[in-house]
Amino acid sequence: MPPASSSGGVMMTANRVVNMVMALLTVVACVLAAVVARA
């Protein structure tokens, strides 16, 4: 990961982290929905 020396680099890194968190939350939501539907 390149060093975020400029504000643009910081924003890109933040965007990457947000996208990763959103993807993880989506996976968790899908798993929870499957468990609830099966229960």
Q: How confident is the model over 1-39, as pLDDT tens digits?
A: 555 566 666 777 889 999 999 999 999 999 999 999 997
Angle, CA 24 vertex, CA 26 and CA 37 arms, to 5°: 40
User: Distance between CA atoms of 34 and 39, rounded to whole angstroms?
Assistant: 9
Name the DSSP class of 2.
-
SS3 32: helix
pLDDT at 39: 79
Do 9 and 3 touch, CB atoms closer than 8 A?
yes
pLDDT at 14: 86
Q: Quick check: pTM over 0.75?
A: no
User: Distance between CA atoms of 27 and 16, rounded to whole angstroms?
Assistant: 17
